Chain A
Amino acid sequence: MSSKTKVVQWDPADIKDELLKKYPPKVARKRAKQIMINEATESEAPPEIVANVRTIPGIITMRGCTYAGCKGVIMGPTRDIVNITHGPIGCGFYSWLTRRNQTSAGPDGENYMPYCFSTDMQDQDIIFGGEKKLEAAIQEAYDLFHPKGICIFSTCPVGLIGDDVHAVAKKMREKFGDCNVFAFSCEGYKGVSQSAGHHIANNEVFTHLVGTNEEPRKEEYKINLLGEYNIGGDGFEIDRVLKKCGITNIATFSGNSTYDQFASAQHADLSCVMCHRSINYVADMLETKYGIPWIKVNFIGAEATAKSLRKIGEYFGDKKLIDKIEAVIAEELPEVEAIAKDVRSRTEGKTAMLFVGGSRAHHYQELFNEMGMKTLSAGYEFGHRDDYEGRRVIPDIKVDADSRNIEELDVEADEKYYKPRKTPEEIKALEDAGYEFKHYDGLNPDMDKGSIIIDDLNQYEAEKLVELLKPDLFCAGIKEKYSIQKLGVPMKQLHSYDSGGPYAGFKGAINFYKEIDRLVGSKVWSYMKAPWQENPELTATFVWE
């Protein structure tokens, strides 16, 4: 393991300079604002980071597009809606089964996950418009499958040629009567990243689907789990734990979700937000329209899971529930702790870097803490300032020209269905006890002073960071995986989990400990040099007797 000897203790400011040194001046100025040296909570006025701004052309970003954020992330995991990509074939093809949002077909047996539906636009559709073809495709999908819902996703050329996907959707919805058809203007060039697609998906699903099932729900302790996509079965594990505690999950947005879950989301009494970035819009809108408060939770990490469960218990304030939650935690934790203790003996003091989409670069630090590992550097592809600095900075965020055209919905309290879940006195009592609603502190406060936080990390910076800081583990996505591993540094994918998982909840923590133990302890990293490369000097020749 000679390559990993840490000889120099770098000063964070020097590292930042090193990262910027090679850039053309304009690029260096811009990147300097997206790379910050964390001051953690010690500072009165922590430094601002620039985030959610346009990508520098040619920089080799990790980012994707609005379509990916809308169709790929938010709507893709819903099993009983037929998702039709309106565009040339690529977008539909690449988002076909490539995110590991698992689904179970359930008792009704509806599951369109293994399918890819596309209008496969051709040059004549670009020239003459694709509305007729889209209309016919929706009809064919309806005739073939009779689904509850059909969603249409626009790709780059659709906006340019002026196809009115919403008008086509409306026409077909009215024609069918028993199938909800609605569309998303999630052209890839909108906004600056996947993030715009999240927002667009939130808006449309809220407008066209949420709240349409009025049938009351009689269960106890009803929550929505927002921003959990069931990657590698995370949502299954969280549901297992919730169920064991007696908590009812009305709707997950949107891992293993169904049309009806979205439609019934207004019946919940609390929204629990996992991925703040992708779903905070729906959380806010559910509160405004129906009076459902929301809290930030985190089910990544055993301690974080316990903490989140207790937070839900405290909200409902019912002793029966609180006792049950404590009983479940007491039952689940011993196994987790035993394995953590064993793994920790090999992972203690090791270092990691995390560069993942818009939430996991934060959440997963809990798991590394539990293993005694330190996060040297982290950042998001497409987080906004509030994901770094906390929601308190939201009033100061200026929406720039590149994101201005992403619609903000004007939502008002529903005349018939708005119902405050708690009296103002109850809310105040909870808050006085330290309870925080609608609150997210962001990534920065949870990281050490002097750690390096980087927004929209690129290929060059990733390589440079690894070279300078020599982490024991690098976490990012498929595009980064193999270049990092060529450097002899183990790489863990925190989007796809490298086909592992679940990593959420109690069982997930165990899976993750074991996986990291395997990765940092693997023998393969000692094989990089052949014997003749380690000792290239030929000192004697072999003499056969």
Chain B
Amino acid sequence: MLLRHTPTEIKERKSLVVNPAKTCQPIGAMYAALGIKGCLPHSHGSQGCCAYHRSMLTRHYKEPVSAATSSFTEGASVFGGQANLIQAINNIFTVYEPEVIAVHTTCLSETIGDDLKQIVTKATKDGKIPEGKTVFGAPTPSYVGSHVTGFSNMVKAMAQLAEPSSEKNGKVNIIPGWVEPCDMEEIKRLCSMIGVDTTMFPDTSGVLNGPLSGEYKMFPDGGVTIKELKESGQATGTIALGEWCSADAARWLDSKHKVPCTVLDMPFGLKATDRFIDVLRTVAGVSIPDSISYERGQLVDLISDMHQYFYGKKVAIFGDPDQLISMVEFLRSIDMCPVYVVTGTPGKKFEKRIKELTADMPYECKVKAKGDMFLMHQWIKNEPVDLLMGNSYGKYIARDEDIPFLRWGFPITDRQGHQYFPTVGYKGGLRLLEKILGLLLDRKDRDSPEETFELVL
């Protein structure tokens, strides 16, 4: 037993969080900023945050993650971090030569009340920002929301780079939300198959799944450009994938630059992908090519082939709201039963949406926003499940309770290769189903007595 101190009996906790199903804002902002071409993320706080965030992203992607920090000392923490940030900006442009510095804050600089906008204005006035280079930022207080909120705040700050213009450029903004670089690639592939000209932001493909070639590029070729972000106000419309991750930026572009937006669920699974493709079709005003219907048909085929193993199986799942909503819908669409759903990210709407998606289940779904994995584990102890889905921290519960475990979400620190294979779209659906069935059947093979051990399933 690893989690041997977790009791079956559930007592309400008001103050102590145990084994969180979330982390703090700035790591989300750092991830988002890496999706800008030529951008160095910058953490305005003491340097421990930056080291932790870089390390965690690196552990997940097995790729270099560069970011700078203001390295607050006690003095700066009392008197303000303006001098640190201006000095940092000067050093970064001289030594590392990025095109863009995307600044986020921490609980330290937020508590002391540093004003990013004012500091950037001062840096500009002092001539610390070279011609043609960009410094912008987003406040990301760690004591509000979660890493998802930080991601959303940085994406909104990207949208705020849009410049006013009466021209339309016929492009569609796609805000993919916090998905893997390969997922962003997959979303772009689907758009180009349909013939939609897109600006995707952020876009970490080519940044956090790059090649090994004997050359280290601190700023790889991937990412959305500042020029594209500036022109995002000229787009025909914005498709935002995920209410928590992407909607704020899209709605801001709508209200400020009259770029109409559609907020969709992240395209995990059959139905959410269907809705995404259908919206793309309307946006592009075209018929969907057979090649996409073919991919969809393959997914439906696999669902029908595998259905007997999925039907009625109970699943516990934890992670981030946007991903969970689509995944719960996907699990229900293959007749699996997500009975425990937990996110650490706050949001009442989340619980309501999950309840709706699971209303037709033969079991009542226990759902909690602002929950933790300690609580989910206690639920499992009280009534077990057939499958556990979530990030690597789930492996401790999976081992203790002997549950097949699908690593999914962020962070995945103990497996490799996930940065290359998408889980969005129909192709991603195929991969998810294959992985889930593999887990269930590996377990069956492990547990079957000799006489029922079978070659063909």
Interface string of A501-545 (1 = CB under 8 A from B): 000000000000000000000001000110000000000000000
Given contacts A61-B69, A94-B56, A482-B63, contact A68 B111 (CB under 8 A): no
Minimum Cβ distance to chain B for residue A447 (Å):
26
CB atoms of A140 and B16 under 8 A apart: yes
Task: Judge whether A77 is part of the interface by a CB distance below 8 angstroms.
Answer: no
On whether the beta carbons of B91 and A479 are closer than 8 Å, the reply is no
Closest to A62 in B: B51
A482 B64 Cβ-Cβ under 8 A: yes
**Chain B contacts for A192, CB-based, 8 A:** 73
- Given the contacts A58-B70, A481-B58, A156 and B18 also touching, CB distance less than 8 Å: no
Given contacts A57-B84, A90-B49, A121-B143, contact A528 B214 (CB under 8 A): yes
| B146 surroundings in chain A (CB, below 8 A) | 89
Distance between Cα atoms of A116 and B6 in the complex (Å): 12
When A56-B91, A478-B55, A486-B215 are in contact, do A120 and B20 touch as well, CB less than 8 Å?
yes
Chain A residues near B47: list those with CB within 8 A. Answer: 55, 61, 63-65, 188
Contacts of A91 in B (CB 8 A): 24, 48, 52
Report if B124 contacts A (CB, 8 A). no
A393 touches B (CB below 8 Å): no
CB contact between B24 and one of A88, A96, A117 (< 8 Å): that residue = A88
B407 is an interface residue with CB less than 8 A from chain A = no
- Bound state CA distance, A90 and B344, in angstroms? 12
A98 to B57, CA, bound (A): 12
What class of interface size applies to chain B in its complex with A?
35 or more
B95 and A460 contacting across the interface, CB-CB below 8 Å: yes
B142 interface residue, CB < 8 Å from A?
A: yes
Q: Mark A97-117, 1 if CB is under 8 A from B, else 0.
A: 110000001000111101111
A339 to chain B, nearest CB (A): 28
Question: Which residues does chain B contribute within 8 Å of A402, judged by CB atoms?
Answer: 73-75
Is there an interface contact between B73 and A89, defined as CB atoms closer than 8 Å?
Answer: no
Contact B71 A143 (CB under 8 A): no
**Which of chain A's residues have a CB closer than 8 A to the CB of B218?**
459, 483
Q: Among B7, B87, B111, which residue has the most Cβ atoms of chain A within 10 A? A: B111
Q: Which of A60, A117, A118, A122 has the most CB of B within 10 A?
A: A60
State whether A90 touches B87 (Cβ < 8 A). no
Q: Which residues of A sit under 8 angstroms from B11, Cβ to Cβ?
A: 140, 143-144
Q: Are the C-beta atoms of B69 and A123 separated by less than 8 Å?
A: no
A60–B107 CB distance below 8 A: no
| The one of A24, A118, A134 that contacts B17, using a Cβ cutoff of 8 Å | A118
**A140–B7 alpha-carbon span in the complex (Å):** 13
CB of A485 closer than 8 Å to a CB of B = yes
B95 cross-chain contacts in A, Cβ below 8 A: 22-23, 27, 58-59, 460
A64→B142 contact, CB < 8 A: no
The 0/1 profile, CB within 8 Å of B marked 1, for residues 481-509 of chain A is 11111111000000000000000000000
Q: Is B35 positioned at the interface, with any CB of A under 8 Å from its CB? A: no
Cβ contacts under 8 Å, A58 to chain B = 42, 68-70, 87-92, 95
State the CA gap A402–B78 with chains docked (Å). 12
Q: Within the complex, which residue of A63, A64, A136, A405 is in contact with B15, where a contact is CB–CB below 8 Å?
A: A136
Q: With both chains docked as a complex, state the minimum distance between the C-beta of B49 and any C-beta of chain A, in angstroms.
A: 7
User: Is A66 part of the contact surface with B, judged by Cβ < 8 Å?
Assistant: yes
Q: How far is the CA of A487 from the CA of B214 in the complex (A)?
A: 4
Best-buried of A98, A161, A189, A405 by chain B (most CB within 10 Å):
A189
Q: Contacts A90-B49, A123-B143 known; A487 to B108 CB distance under 8 Å? A: no
Residue interface mask B1-30, A partner, CB < 8 A = 1: 011110100010111111110111111000
In the complex, which of the residues B23, B51, B344 contacts A65, with contact meaning CB atoms closer than 8 Å? B51
Residues A90 and B85 in contact, CB atoms below 8 Å apart = no
Docked Cα-Cα span, A66 to B141, in Å, equals: 20
**A487 touching B216, Cβ below 8 Å:** yes
Knowing A114-B2, A189-B108 touch, does A123 contact B73 (C-beta < 8 A)?
no
Rounded to whole angstroms, the CA-CA distance of A25 and B94 in the bound complex is 11
Distance to closest chain B CB from A399 (angstroms): 13
Closest chain-B Cβ to A118's Cβ sits at a distance in Å of 5
Which residues of B are found within 8 Å of A485, using beta-carbon distances? 212
Judged by a CB distance under 8 angstroms, whether A84 is at the interface is: yes
With A90-B27, A478-B59 in contact, is A57–B108 under 8 Å at CB?
A: no
Q: Which residues of B contact A451 (CB under 8 A)?
A: none
A401 on the B face (CB < 8 A): yes
11 A-B pairs with CB atoms under 8 Å apart are A23-B91, A58-B89, A58-B92, A63-B71, A111-B4, A121-B143, A144-B5, A156-B46, A188-B45, A188-B49, A483-B216
